Amino acid sequence: MNITALIRAPIDRTQILKAAASLGILGVGAHSGPRMMATLCNPQVSMREVVSVISQQPAIYARVLRVANSPYYGQARCIQSVERALALLGLDAVRGMAAAACLDRTMRRGVQSAPIDLSALVAHSLATAAAAASLARIHHGSLASDAFIGGLLHNLGIAVQLHLDAPGINAMIAHRRTDTLREIRALESEHAIVGHEECAAAIFEAWQLPDSLVAVARHHHDPMAAPESQRPLAALVNLGANLALACGSTFTLEPATIERNLQAMTLLGLTEEDLNAIALELPERLDELQSALMDT
C-alpha cells in the first residue's frame, strides 16, 4: 500500500455496512430486496414461499411474467400468474432475475456520477454469471444456479467502495491509463483503503446469504484462499470473470484479460478446450441475458 493510502484511516465492517445502508443496499422490512435474496437462496425454500416473496416485489413480479411470455419460451397462451411462470421457468431462473434486479438497483444507486461505466460493469457481471454457470454444468451441475448468482453479484462491493473511497478509486483509474494488466487487488493494495471483495462479503453476510456465496464475494480473485468446501463455487466465478474479460466484456477497473487460474481449472476438472468452447458462445448468451434480465 502506498503512502497516500496509509495516511487515510482504514475502513472496517461497520463503516462498510453504514455506507451500504446509506445507498439503500441493505434494505429493511420483510419484503425488501435483500430479504428476497436470502429467501430465494435458501435451499429449503418452498414454492409457496417463493410465490409469496415474488408477489411482494412488483418489479420482479413483472420481470418474471415478461420473461415467461417472451418469444424464447414460445407460449401459445399468455401467462398471467407468477405460479404458472414459475412452473415454466423454474426456481433457478427466478433466482437469477432477483439477483439481476439487486445488481441493477445497487449499481444505479452507488455508481451515479462516478468515473466508472455502469453499463459496462453490469454487462461484465452478466457475462461472468453466464460463463460461471456454463462452466458448472460441465462437471458441477448442482452449483450452476449459485455460480450464476455469484457471478452476477461478485462486483457488488464496488458501489460501496466508490462511496467510501472515491480518492482510492480515482487513483486506481489513473494508474490504469498506463497499466491495463495489473491485477485489481494489487492496485487496491497500493491505492485503496478498502477492497471491493471485502465490501461485497460484508453485504452478503448482512443479507444472510449462504456461506458459499459470501466466500465468492470475498475470494473470487483468489478462490484457493476460500474454505476448502467453498472453493469450487469461488473457482467457477473466478474463471467466469476471466472468460468475460477475454470476450471483451471489461470495465474501467478491469480493462484487460487476466491469466487463467490453473489451480481453479484443476480443482474443477476443466481444460482449456472447455473454457474456449464456452467463450465462443458467451457473446450471444450475453445478448440474451441483457434482453431477458435487465431493465432497458
| Cβ neighbours of 250 (radius 10 Å) | 20
Look at residue 285 in the predicted model and tell me its pLDDT: 86
pLDDT tens, 146-188?
A: 999 999 999 999 988 988 999 999 999 999 999 999 999 999 9
Residues 178-212 pLDDT 10s: 999 999 999 999 999 999 999 999 999 998 889 99
Is residue 45 packed enough to be buried (19+ CB in 10 Å), middle (13-18) or exposed (0-12)?
A: middle
Whether residue 3 is predicted with pLDDT greater than 50 in this model: the reply is: no
Q: In sequence order, which residues have a C-beta less than 8 Å from that of residue 214 and are 6 or more positions away?
A: 201, 204, 205
Which tens digit of pLDDT belongs to each residue from 215-263?
Answer: 999 999 999 999 999 999 999 999 999 999 999 999 999 999 889 999 9
Residue 261 is classified by DSSP as -
- Contact (CB, 8 A) for 149 and 99: yes
16-51 pLDDT, tens digit each:
999 988 888 876 655 567 778 888 888 788 888 888
Q: What tens digit of pLDDT does each residue of 109-144 get?
A: 655 567 888 788 889 999 999 999 999 999 999 999
Q: What is the pLDDT of residue 171?
A: 95
What is the pLDDT, as a whole number, of residue 84?
Answer: 86
pLDDT interval class at 106 (50, 70, 90): confident
Query: CA 98 to CA 118: how far, in whole Å?
Result: 19
By the 10 Å C-beta count (0-12 exposed, 13-18 middle, 19+ buried), 119 is classed as exposed
What's the pLDDT score for residue 91?
A: 82
Per-residue pLDDT, 1: 46
Question: What pLDDT shows up at residue 248?
Answer: 94
First to last CA, the chain: 40
- Alpha helices by DSSP H, listed for 220-254, are 231-246
3-class secondary-structure state, position 251:
strand
128 within 8 A of 241, measured Cβ to Cβ: yes
- C-alpha cell of residue 201: 462479503
Provide the pLDDT for residue 247.
94
All domains in the chain, ordered by first residue: 3-26+100-293 (1.10.3210.10)
Kindly report the pTM of this predicted structure. Answer: 0.87
The residue count of the chain comes to 296
What local confidence, expressed as pLDDT, does residue 8 receive?
A: 67
**Secondary structure class of 209 (helix, strand, coil):** coil
Angle 13-22/196-207 helices, nearest 10 degrees? 70
